[in-house]
Copies of this chain bind each other. A is one copy, B any other.
């Protein structure tokens, strides 16, 4: 059995820099036609100069691949001139709400402090991608942030607002209620819950942000994806860390899922009897929501067992050492 996917897209991807970039970027570029490249480098990508330099670095690591890096700028209060100059080069602006707590006055002031820029984004039709978590209790952070999403969606009705890597039934409910809002969801949040991270032993390789939630949350996300939710797109949030940042006290958050994303998605969608929904989830919905062009890449998924490597250089992938039922080839 095989399946041809047209232009698979990873709508949320961390490629890092330097050596790590050169290790992980080809693993995404092999399977995907394009990816939304996150700007949270050690020094954030918050100017057009930095963005073009980063895009160059990404391009060099991927010169042998048919892969388009869809770049994002790190949110700050940009001027209209800056946004106009950046617009041809970016997919959108990524907001990390450090310091926002939805239940505090200062939190509200913070988000209002971004309104001037939100107005420009709305006017210039630049999407706003948001890491939607409060600074509250770890299991409540996404739910607590939904009031901010509500407020921004209400106050900027023409802004394309994207809730990144949603993890909760509450986020799905808000997405259901808001025609203008899109969302991405990762592979791992469709597969794991907090039980996998801390239910038995502590599993650093499954520790990510937002943290994996409850079985009910996971089931709600799965139902939305498998039923072909028209505004819910795949974004791996694949986030590599070298072993020494994982096997230690105080380990870093992030799951490296890029190399297994398409095979595992095919396996899941097949198990659910909805393989016909996969093309939409990994490409068509994102193209429609963002108005993306055709990239002209076809990826072949074959139902052939494939054993996931234990390591890619220093990085342990999601499902390391396990055998998947599908493989991806050009």
Residues of A within 8 A of B (CB): 137-139, 193-195, 197-199, 201-205, 207, 211, 214-215, 246-253
Contacts and interface: CB of A to CB of B under 8 A. Distances in A.
Contacts of A246: 249
A195 B247 contact: no
Contacts of A207: 198, 202
Contact of A201 (B139, B199, B252): B252
A138 B248 contact: no
B202 A202 contact: yes
B202 A251 contact: yes
Nearest to A250: B201
Main secondary structure of the interface of A (DSSP, over half): loop
Contacts of A252: 201
A216 to B, nearest CB: 9
Contacts of A214: 137, 139
Contact of A139 (B139, B249, B250): B139
Contacts of A194: 137-139
Contacts of A195: 137-138
Contact of A197 (B193, B198, B204, B205): B198
B203 A137 contact: no
A188 to B, nearest CB: 15
Given A139-B139, A195-B137, A249 B211 contact: no
Contact of A198 (B201, B211, B249): B211
Given A193-B137, A214-B139, A201 B253 contact: yes
A209 to B, nearest CB: 9
Contact of A250 (B137, B202, B211, B248): B202
A199 B204 CA distance: 13
A205 B249 contact: yes
A314 B207 CA distance: 26
A9 B138 CA distance: 34
Nearest to A215: B137
